[in-house]
Chain A
Amino acid sequence: DTAVSQTPKYLVTQMGNDKSIKCEQNLGHDTMYWYKQDSKKFLKIMFSYNNKELIINETVPNRFSPKSPDKAHLNLHINSLELGDSAVYFCASSQFGTGGSGNTIYFGEGSWLTVV
């Protein structure tokens, strides 16, 4: 069974469109994340939710809006897509607890977004 699954895996869309990427985890974790990987492979956190509450919101354009309907899901909606939004978006999850910073963060397989 896939632990962190995200859909779609590939998405090609035109500038100006609105799109969503969905993420689900079946690990029972209480914390979920979105990371962005640019064309140079650099990974940077965008958002983090703990028990459906937004706890990390890095400097991201407000065209990006995460939504967490429950602990197992964290979706990413992007409005008015721009060429520079082309990247790989990774969903991830972890369990906040006594392990603290040592808790492993598990990643999905990524969603390859291309804006044309």
Chain B
Amino acid sequence: GDSVTQMEGPVTLSEEAFLTINCTYTATGYPSLFWYVQYPGEGLQLLLKATKADDKGSNKGFEATYRKETTSFHLEKGSVQVSDSAVYFCALSKGSSGGSNYKLTFGKGTLLTVNP
């Protein structure tokens, strides 16, 4: 079945450091790929997405490129802030052809802590 593998955390960085959170996926067909973020005590928010190979999603300084050849969607940010501390989830969405049963399959999440 479809699956998403993220690098295990926790990840601890100093402010202004470079961030990479690795994500690879296994899926047949052409899934869409997402990064969601969960701040402490809150729900999930969409951070960025890409719907086809070589697409780059970007938001709030975060970027991820859909690489079909390596089945990856790594999250990067050039300079993290304390406010970026959260759990980051990589996910893929795919449904049956012609059906409406799209669902997100999530990775296990990566806890990021940014220290001042």
Choose from A55, A99, A108 the contact partner of B101 (Cβ within 8 Å): A55
Bound form: Cα–Cα A104–B93 in Å = 9
Bound form: Cα–Cα A11–B21 in Å = 33
Q: Which chain A residues (67-85) contact chain B, with CB distance < 8 Å?
A: none
Contact (Cβ within 8 A) A48 B101 = yes
Choose from B44, B93, B103 the contact partner of A102 (Cβ within 8 Å): B93
A21 CB to nearest chain B CB (Å)? 13
* Contact string against A for B residues 33-69, beta-carbon threshold 8 Å, 1 for contact and 0 otherwise: 0101010001111100101000000000000000000
Bound form: Cα–Cα A9–B106 in Å = 22
Choose from A41, A94, A101 the contact partner of B94 (Cβ within 8 Å): A101
A45 surroundings in chain B (CB, below 8 A): 103-105
* Contact string against A for B residues 86-99, beta-carbon threshold 8 Å, 1 for contact and 0 otherwise: 01010001110001
Choose from B51, B87, B111 the contact partner of A101 (Cβ within 8 Å): B51
Bound form: Cα–Cα A45–B95 in Å = 13
By size class, the interface of chain B is 20 to 34
Choose from B32, B38, B103, B106 the contact partner of A48 (Cβ within 8 Å): B103
Contact (Cβ within 8 A) B93 A101 = yes
B42 surroundings in chain A (CB, below 8 A): 109-110
A50 adjacent to chain B (CB < 8 Å): yes
20 additional A-B residue pairs with CB within 8 Å, beyond A96-B102, A107-B43: A33-B103, A35-B104, A40-B108, A41-B38, A41-B87, A41-B111, A42-B108, A43-B104, A45-B103, A45-B104, A90-B43, A99-B51, A100-B95, A100-B102, A101-B30, A104-B46, A105-B104, A107-B36, A107-B45, A110-B43
Q: List 23 A-B contacts (CB under 8 A).
A: A31-B102, A40-B108, A41-B108, A41-B109, A42-B106, A43-B89, A45-B103, A45-B105, A50-B101, A55-B99, A56-B103, A90-B44, A96-B102, A100-B32, A101-B31, A101-B93, A103-B102, A104-B34, A104-B46, A104-B49, A108-B43, A109-B42, A110-B43
B residues bordering A, Cβ < 8 Å? 30-32, 34, 36, 38, 42-46, 49, 51, 87, 89, 93-95, 99-106, 108-109, 111
